[in-house]
Amino acid sequence: MKFRSTILVAIIIAGATYTTTFASMASGSVVIGNKAVSLEYANMEVNATEMTAAVAAGGSIYVKDFEGIWIDNITGKAVDVSVIPDVVYKSANKKINYNARDIEQLSTTPVVDDVTINTTKLTAKQIINKYGNAVVYVEVSDKDHNVTVSGSGFIVKSTGVLVTNFHVIKGSSYATVTLQNGSKYDVKSVLNYNEKQDIAILQLSNATNLTTVNLGNSDTVEVGDNVTAIGSPGGYMNTLSKGIISGINRENDRGKDIQTTASITHGSSGGPLFNRYGNVIGINYSGFESAGDIGFVIPINEINSLLNTTNEKTLIQINGQ
């Protein structure tokens, strides 16, 4: 039998006065009337007047339960996200316009202006059909143009800006990428990188109008979420693997990782991990050979600072060859 966690909302009606009290909630987000606020914001006493007015004006209260389902907290019944109105998410320092169905974006993480967040659930087949050509096979070569390593990557800008792992390009002098449709591009330069974080941002030569992925928000990832990985393990381009998020904040020398049951093996490094909406929430980079269902992923939010700054160099300059 399946049990749904109850989220307490007490509404005391006294004339035109409404008082709301919210119990602990996994997502930390709630829609009151036509406003979405953090759980902490809603429960702060200093915001009581605002919350009372919002409830009085809007009437309906919606919350996202522990299973990620929006429910009407008056009736306790699940509701389709399409009935939830356009909302404003409030935090201590900013006010950002969202649509309530963008549930993965109800957080304090800044939103990249030119990124569109998907809000419709996609199957693994739909994800690879839509974004397969944005996931690339990467081959790196030494100074004599001998191929030494292969890996994966994904395009984040139509002008040929590509994300992969630093360890994929480490020690190389040249690199090329191949798209699912067979198109090939040389890597012109490394726009930015962080060896410790194991992230590299590459620029392709003569690239225009390329298919791109959508970047999600890794701060909202929860254990049990369905995910899809795409990469080139063993050189097999655009191999698809399904799984779930099996852990978060796994600490190691690199930083804090996302753990997944999706298969991540040699050649998968640098490929994207998609959530169920087709938004990339991580960079696949490591796995246990002895345990095929334990893979590690770099949270996608770690690339924000690298995308917003430039430290352009050639592979030869970086690797000293």
| pLDDT value for 102 | 36
User: Does 260 lie in the same domain as 289?
Assistant: yes
- Please state, in angstroms and rounded to a whole number, the distance separating the CA atoms of residues 232 and 129: 16
Residue 6 lies in a domain: no
Q: Are residues 72 and 127 in the same domain?
A: no
Is 152 considered catalytic here?
Answer: no
Query: Is the residue at 146 inside a domain?
Result: yes
pLDDT, position 153: 97
One-letter identity of residue 153: G
Catalytic residue of the set 72, 142, 167, 219 = 167
pLDDT at 308: 84
Considering the domain architecture, whether residues 137 and 45 belong to the same structural domain is answered as no
Residue 264 has a pLDDT of 87
pLDDT confidence of residue 63: 67
Is residue 48, in this structure, part of any structural domain at all?
Answer: yes
Q: Does 119 share its domain with 100?
A: no
- Residue 300 near residue 285 (C-beta atoms within 8 A): no
For 198, the domain range is 115-321
Question: What CATH number is attached to the domain comprising 282?
Answer: 2.40.10.120
Residue 3: inside a domain: no
Annotation marks residue 257 as catalytic: no
Give the model's pLDDT for residue 169. 95
Cα separations in angstroms, 107 against 39, 74, 196, 218, 308: 11, 24, 26, 10, 20
Tell me, letter by letter, the H, E, C secondary structure of 289-320. Answer: CCEEEEEEEEEHHHHHHHHCCCCCECHHHHHC
Write the DSSP string, 135-175: EEEEEEE-TT--EEEEEEEEEEETTTEEEE-HHHHTT-SEE
Measured CA to CA, the distance from residue 40 to residue 46 in angstroms comes to 11
pLDDT at 112: 37
Select which of 172, 263, 269, 286 is catalytic. Answer: 269
Is 269 one of the catalytic residues? Answer: yes
Grouped pLDDT means (10 residues each) for the chain, 321 residues: 33 34 46 61 68 64 61 67 56 39 35 48 92 96 91 95 95 94 95 95 95 91 93 91 92 91 89 94 83 85 90 88 56
**Burial class, 24, CB count within 10 angstroms (exposed 0-12 / middle 13-18 / buried 19+):** exposed
**Is residue 1 a part of any domain in this protein?**
no
Same domain, 119 and 92: no
Residues 86 and 155 in one domain: no
Pair 50, 155 in one domain = no
The domain boundary residue, chosen from 57, 78, 105: 105
Q: Is residue 7 part of a domain?
A: no
Task: Summarize pLDDT for 263-303 with one digit per residue, the tens.
Answer: 888 889 999 999 999 999 999 998 776 556 888 999 999 99
Residue 59 and residue 180 in one domain? no
277 and 175 Cβ atoms separated by less than 8 Å: no
Shared domain check, 151 and 247: yes
pLDDT of amino acid 266? 83
What is the maximum span of the chain, computed from C-alpha positions, in angstroms? 82
Q: Which of 65, 102, 198, 225 is catalytic?
A: 198
Residue-level pLDDT at 261 = 92
In this predicted structure, what is the pLDDT of residue 41? 65
Contact 36, 98 (CB under 8 A): yes
Single out the residue in 63, 85, 105 at which a domain terminates: 105
**What's the whole-number average pLDDT of the chain?**
76
Residue 306, in any domain of the structure: yes
End position of a domain, from candidates 78, 105, 132: 105
Q: 228 with 299, same domain?
A: yes
Per the structure, the count of domains in the chain is: 2
31 & 140 share domain: no
**119 in a structural domain:** yes
Say if residue 236 is in the same domain as residue 310.
yes
